[in-house]
Structure 1
Amino acid sequence: MQSKATTPEQYIAELPEDRREAMSKLREVTLQNLPKGFEEQMIYGMLGYVVPHSIYPNGYHCSPELPLSFFAIASQKNSINIYHMMVYSDKKLHDWFAAEYPKYCKSKLDMGKSCIRFKKMNDIPYDLIGELLSKVTVEQWISEYEKMLKK
């Protein structure tokens, strides 16, 4: 479900009411905890948090005209999802998150490679997501991304 919204505010306003509050809170937590240098924008029809071209001119290697994505939030058909690229690429960060999750939620962690799905809005661990976001700087993400490209 990709939105055609052009701003985060429009994206959230178009959501069903039961999703609006959770998405607004996720956005707020993201903006409060995301390290300096990342920028919010609509990307791939969701709320995206990227390394802007002003910091990383190369952009995303598959589409260099796009900035380097780091984190995204989306309201999908059956869940609210977050996409954290470093959780996918850094086993240590992934394992930390997986170990911490049960301390915040009673539900089982529903996680793909970089996607974490929340089917129940009351199960979203906002504090844990904030902590996860605060753990990776722009410089660390660029370094990790470039390591992956060399493989």
Structure 2
Amino acid sequence: MQYKATSPEEYIPQVPKERKSALQKLRKIIKENLPKGFEEGMQYGMIAYYVPHSIYPSGYHCNPTEPLPFMSFASQKNSVNLYHSGIYAIPEIHDWFVKEYPKHSSRKLDMGKSCIRFKKMDDIPFELIAELCKKITVEDWIKHYENNIKKN
């Protein structure tokens, strides 16, 4: 589902009412736990957290006018999806998350490359997401991005 929002404050009121409180809590957890330097805004129709051009002027190699993406979330048709670039790009982060997930949820992990899907709002492991947010600093993400992802 694509919502017409230009800010997180516009986005959340548009989602189905049964998801609003979960998305508000998710946003709060991310903002409180992401290391300094990441900024919040909208990217690709989702609430996003990225490295701003003021820190990384080159931007995203796929579209340099966009700041360097890091993490985002969205209310989709059948689930709330959390996207985290570190889970996709850094095997240690992926492995840590997969290992920790069962300690925080009785549900089977529903995960793609960088996407974690939550079909039931009560099953979002907020404490685990808080820990995930703390795992990578802006500096670490830029270094990893330049060394392993960016196409010169």
TM-score (norm 1): 0.97
1:46 corresponds in structure 2 to 46
1:103 corresponds in structure 2 to 103
What is the percentage of aligned positions where both structures have the same residue? 61
User: Secondary structure of 1:112's match?
Assistant: coil
1:122 corresponds in structure 2 to 122
| Superposition deviation, residue 4 in structure 1 | 1.6
Contact 1:46/1:74 (<8 A) preserved: yes
Q: Does 2:70 match 1:79?
A: no
User: Which one-letter code corresponds to 1:65 in the other structure?
Assistant: T
Unaligned runs of 5+ in 2: none
Alignment of 1:127-138 (within 5 A): 127-138=127-138
1:61 corresponds in structure 2 to 61
Q: In structure 1, what is the Cα distance between the partners aligned to 2:2 and 2:69?
A: 16
2:29 corresponds in structure 1 to 29
Unaligned runs of 5+ in 1: none
User: Which one-letter code corresponds to 2:101 in the other structure?
Assistant: Y
| Superposition deviation, residue 6 in structure 1 | 0.8
| Superposition deviation, residue 149 in structure 1 | 3.1
| Superposition deviation, residue 9 in structure 1 | 1.0
| Superposition deviation, residue 150 in structure 1 | 5.8
Tell me the alpha carbon deviations over residues 18-77 of structure 1, each in whole angstroms, 9 at most, x when there is no partner.
010110000000000010000000111110000000000000001000000000010000
2:6 corresponds in structure 1 to 6
Q: In structure 2, what is the Cα distance between the partners aligned to 1:41 and 1:74?
A: 12
Q: In structure 2, what is the Cα distance between the partners aligned to 1:149 and 1:101?
A: 26
| Superposition deviation, residue 3 in structure 1 | 1.8
| Superposition deviation, residue 2 in structure 1 | 2.2
CA separation of 1:24 and 1:142: change in aligned 2, threshold 3 A: same
TM-score (norm 2): 0.97
Q: In structure 2, what is the Cα distance between the partners aligned to 1:26 and 1:9?
A: 13
Tell me the alpha carbon deviations over residues 71-96 of structure 1, each in whole angstroms, 9 at most, x when there is no partner.
00100000000000011011111000
